Structures are given as structure tokens and as C-alpha cells.
Amino acid sequence: MDLKCVVAIVRPDVVESLERKLGAIHIHGVTVTRVRGFGAHPNLFADDWTTEHVKIEIFAQAENVDTLVKTIIDTAHIGAIGDGVVAVFPVEKFFRVRSQAEAIP
């Protein structure tokens, strides 16, 4: 089975809504991390160019990735600088630490 890792960096205020929508499309495993950074349009007038965002990482089966990405984009989009980014990466191997065996999520 083909496995992908979807990584999204979004504004913190969309996380709660996004978590509900992910549950609705049966995505039940997610890692959420607070991050700081800047993209193509940093605030050059501020002492600190970085802004706070949230990084979301989800392992999903390849056939579910399009729906997952669309859900993230639809939820995070307001049409403003700083809405975020989404990237999809292939996963070579996936292991469960508990069972110490290769697994499918």
C-alpha cells in the first residue's frame, strides 16, 4: 500500500476547525507542532521577521491524499498572506514502535 506524509503549515486560528474536519474525513492520527518562520513575504519592518504558525503532519494512504489536501486548503484559506503551505512526501517505510514491526497506518 502506498503511503504519503502530508505536511501543512497553517495559521494557529484554523487548527481547531481543521481537527474537526479531519475527523469528519476519517483522519484520526495527526501531529501538531507550534513553529515560527517566514515565507515569501516576511515583515521587514518588524524586529523579528518570523510569525507563529502551526505545522501539521499526517501519514495517509495515497488514495486519501487528494481529499486530505483539499480539506486542509479549504479550511486554512482566507486569501491572505500567511495562509500557509501544504506539501506531500512519499514514505519509504513506516514502523510502529509498540510492535517493533513495519506497519500500515
Q: What is the pLDDT of residues 28-71, one digit of tens each?
A: 899 999 999 888 777 777 788 888 999 999 999 999 999 999 99
- Nearest Cα residue to 82 out of 49, 24, 42, 48: 42
Residue 105: its pLDDT value, please? 60
Residue 87: its pLDDT value, please? 98
**CATH architecture assignment, domain 1-8+25-40+53-105:** 2-Layer Sandwich (3.30)
Residue 49: its pLDDT value, please? 82
In this prediction, residues 67-82 reach a mean pLDDT of: 95
The dihedrals phi and psi of 24, each to the nearest 5 degrees, come to: -65, -25
